[in-house]
Amino acid sequence: MIKIAPSILAADPLNLERDARRMMDAGCDWLHVDVMDAHFVHNLAFSPDTVRRLEEITTVPLDVHLMMNHPERYLDVFLDAGADRITIHAEVSGSLQAMLDKIHRRGAKAGLALKPGTGISAVEPFLDETDLVLTMTVEPGFGGQKLNESVLGKIAALRKIGYQGEIEADGGVKEHNLQSLIDQGLSVAVMGTALFRSDDPKAMMARLHAMG
């Protein structure tokens, strides 16, 4: 069954707890937390304190996506805050292997993310140590963008070379296009505005889970 990870970037910032609980009550599998440093992407969002407060109320894993130039400086603080999974970008400088190892030593799952223009060759050397590959289906940084369908081939290519871990898509994922992603091998869908603006997220979540 496809896992659904609502992105709290789409929540009401004045009612973050309310909206997170609404997603959990609707049956989400993970909560996705985009952390942005205003350097790697042109936006600024969320801190370890946000993760810490979410960890106090959550009943599902916290899926933390670090869109940062120097994620190695912040791994411990986000792990201490309660991140169950941390995904770093394959495009950053520094030792990806060392960062993946550190996340695993701390008992969390480790992921690598790819911008739309980055090929899977950037993560291939690390796939045996990577629990999750996040394929960005929009340019990272802002919500509400349209899904880049060219990324579907990237998901299929990861499965073709035998990758058995989670493959996640983030950006423009909607109810009408999710099946096409599942058909290529997607296992986790990050969804923002589509879920948070739904009048009945529980019913929508049931429909999404029924797709695969």
- Summarize pLDDT for 177-205 with one digit per residue, the tens: 999 999 999 999 999 988 999 999 999 99
Find the angle CA(3)-CA(193)-CA(92) to the nearest 5 degrees: 70
Q: Alpha helices of the chain — where are they, by DSSP H?
A: 16-26, 48-57, 75-81, 96-105, 152-160, 178-184, 193-196, 201-209
Task: Return the pLDDT at 185.
Answer: 97
Candidates 103, 163, 161; CA nearest to 133 is: 163
Catalytic residue chosen out of the listed positions 19, 29, 34, 63: 34
Residues of the chain with pLDDT under 50: none
Residue 199 annotated to the active site = no
Q: Is this model's pTM higher than 0.85 or not?
A: yes
Task: Return the pLDDT at 39.
Answer: 86
**Cα distance between residue 30 and residue 33, in whole Å:** 10
Per the CB < 8 A criterion, the answer to whether 173 and 149 are in contact is: no
Per the CB < 8 A criterion, the answer to whether 112 and 123 are in contact is: yes
The length of the chain, given as a count of residues: 212
Share of the chain above pLDDT 90, in %: 85
**Cα distance between residue 113 and residue 14, in whole Å:** 29
Q: DSSP secondary structure string, 110-146?
A: EEEEE-TT--GGGTGGGGGG-SEEEEESS-TT-SSPP
Q: What is the pLDDT of residues 59-73, one digit of tens each?
A: 999 999 999 999 999
What's 73's domain CATH number?
Answer: 3.20.20.70
Task: Return the pLDDT at 204.
Answer: 97
Catalytic residue chosen out of the listed positions 19, 29, 84, 170: 170
**Cα distance between residue 25 and residue 1, in whole Å:** 18
Task: Return the pLDDT at 143.
Answer: 61
Task: Return the pLDDT at 138.
Answer: 85
Give the chain's domain count: 1
Domain holding 123, by residue range, is 3-209
Residue 183 annotated to the active site = no
